[in-house]
A and B are shown apart, each in its own frame.
Chain A
């Protein structure tokens, strides 16, 4: 693992002021920040700018707000980098709707952190956690288990369309918003009914609902 001043951290955020703010935190971790000025036409292009040139990346989720900084969301990019085995985290403020978009990619987002909680010590831990996960060593909060999911309600008026579900093995009471888009097309009709039950892989060790991911629907 490359720790120390040789560690190059790329900062991807559409707000130049926040890129500066984040750079200062990275410097306090004794790393070298590089602020990405954009524009970023595609996730492939982002990867080309990172591969061999940086060790780690911190991305905001809403990258499309100002001007034409990027043509993709941060969540999508972190998931793409994960597939390429490049460590990256998502550092963003988010509302319920943002979380729905992030949920689609959540399996491949090892760490989602609010800017309020991002400090130099955390960055070092986050980097190690990413590297470990890319090697197949998962934190207990990230490990997926086959579990039953119960549909409490169906909300097709929202964008994205949502199933409101309960995962008894995680929390028998808390309702979780599951975007329909994650579920394979041929299963959506059967699942989109209150009372429907199905199995999927879920990280039931997650501490809060924003950490939950869903995969391999049966």
Chain B
């Protein structure tokens, strides 16, 4: 039997080190994390001549250093899975859990590495190791290059720690890359706390000094509000929001945040978010300048993640909106923070290694625990937004209450000013003001009535949609399925007798259910949120859809509906709901009058004609035409001659059309004999 084993080509080092390397700053950060794991308090990164190829980077730390065994069994071993151990380091840190691949990427940035390390246990001894990467290019297998660790005397003042020098860099580093490294180093060990014992990496560069100063500015006290949300080890959430004066304004328990009460299946988390209102009036009473806060937020804004005290890239990086705050803000700008006006951190205590970082350091693997973390953070933000929204509503209601008083005061002041005036003008001024006041009161009265009418109709709409949902979801499908069973079995059992005994009744039920379904579908379709969005709308498509939707309903009533559409496909930018509102209200109006008429073959005609930049859309019927109301009054809210009519349908048509920049014409007796409503709608093209 022959022994066999895997061996690795020297080129694997290139693959692992360079191709897995997301960016130079992330690679260097891996060496800094090694220093953190080695209990260092300080870690200094110095860069020399990096603007060109051939420069040097020195990474020095005051950590525990390494013995020759530590170097051989740890530092030189690549890819060993070091799941975050529950074993803490000597000073109680939870190791960052590097696999060594990032370290390899950093070490391969130059053509040579020089390592010097002084173990804490034996400060008089120094170990050195040199890695000449060029040698690996000359051999086949990784094992073919032998590395030597030299033991020497420590003749420096340094008592412990490791120095790594990356020599003869293969590429230059741009100013932007240095800035990124500076930012990453500053954020690495939670700069938001004041812990003097914390880890302090430092980059010797001007960029670092500037950013370092900036991060220390800490404008947290200027935040409009501070959200503190906690998740305990049992998956139970709690939260509170503190205003800029330090007063708790909202408090939440688990059910307020999670809403459905489900526990969050992930380790303990604290989520802090400081949100700012960046407007001049808010900052007029603050000491800080709005521009400074803006700049600070532009560098450090966003929600950062700290796992066991160390930052996890890329959460909170510029452009990384992992909690979709900007998307949420698009919905309700007033009440929601964005990455540009807030700063936050999520601190995870994860001793069991539940959150696993991807090998290429581009965040956590999106396992169920991570998704739960995202859910918790989004829920907390959602809760805060809801509370702020209700606060804003209260504020608005209060303003509404005080508005009449304000109007009264303004009126009083104006009357006083008129009284004080003298001469001939005074009488005229008084008359003019009284006239203005009378007209304004009338307009207000109309407006109040209109609002009340809209409210009534909205309530009716909400009720209708609830019934539509319920009926289309359940009773209709029960009837449809059961009648099919009766039909199927009837045909089987009765054979030829089926048609004369059950057939007709079954058909009548089926067609009536069809009509019922149209009623609920029309109601539900009007409520589709997407239809209220401004978009490219092709009018003919909408007409066809509405005719199709109405067809079964009209068939039962023996009303014929016909399209007569011009060639082409005219389109405009509006909402589908607007076109639907116009057409359904006009069709409903025709249906009502056709049912009141004695026409033998009731008809509705929907016609389009194009006229350069507009489309003429007409709805005609052969009903009784417009009677008992002046043609120009049919648009007024509340004006109706229908029994139980709201008088709002045609008002909606009129108002919607005005919003679209169109106008309307009424023909009391059309070519079909009934009314014709003719709409001129501006279009974008056909």
Contacts and interface: CB of A to CB of B under 8 A. Distances in A.
A24 B482 contact: yes
A162 B485 contact: no
Contact of B330 (A15, A157, A186): A157
Interface stretch (A79-87, A113-121, A140-148, A210-218): A113-121
A12 to B, nearest CB: 14
Interface in A97-138: 97, 115-116, 118-120
Interface string A156-175: 11110110100000000000
Given A118-B481, A119-B484, A184-B366, A177 B476 contact: no
A207 interface: no
Contacts of B484: 25, 119
Given A28-B489, A184-B366, A192-B327, A153 B477 contact: no
Interface stretch (B204-212, B240-248, B525-533): B525-533
Contacts of B319: 189
Number of contact residues on B: which range applies?
20 to 34
Contact of A155 (B374, B481, B489, B530): B530
Nearest to B328: A156
B474 A17 contact: yes
B401 interface: no
A120 B481 CA distance: 11
B366 A115 contact: no
Given A119-B488, A185-B322, A189-B321, A21 B529 contact: no
A65 interface: yes
A188 interface: yes
B502 interface: no
B473 A93 contact: yes
A17 B488 CA distance: 19
A177 B530 contact: yes
B429 interface: no
Interface in A21-53: 21-22, 24-25, 28
A69 interface: no
Given A17-B474, A93-B476, A156-B327, A115 B481 contact: yes
B474 A15 contact: yes
A165 to B, nearest CB: 13
Nearest to B479: A21
Contacts of B459: none
Contacts of B529: 97, 157-159
Given A65-B473, A93-B476, A188 B481 contact: no
Given A177-B530, A192-B327, A18 B472 contact: no
B485 A24 contact: yes
A185 B325 CA distance: 12
B535 interface: yes
A185 B330 contact: no
Contacts of A28: 485, 488-489
A4 interface: no
Contacts of B477: 18, 21, 93, 115-116
Nearest to A119: B484
A96 interface: yes
A115 B362 CA distance: 46
B523 to A, nearest CB: 10
A129 B366 CA distance: 33
A62 B473 contact: yes
Contacts of A185: 322, 324, 366, 374
A93 B472 contact: yes
19 contacts: A15-B478, A17-B475, A17-B478, A18-B481, A21-B485, A22-B481, A93-B476, A95-B524, A95-B528, A96-B528, A96-B530, A97-B529, A115-B480, A153-B533, A157-B529, A158-B529, A159-B529, A164-B530, A188-B327
Given A95-B525, A115-B480, 6 more contacts: A25-B484, A115-B477, A156-B331, A157-B331, A158-B529, A188-B324
Interface of A: 15, 17-18, 21-22, 24-25, 28, 62, 65, 93, 95-97, 115-116, 118-120, 153, 155-159, 161-162, 164, 177, 180, 184-186, 188-189, 192
The 6 A-B pairs at the shortest CB distance, nearest first, are namely A115-B477, A21-B481, A24-B485, A17-B478, A15-B474, A158-B529
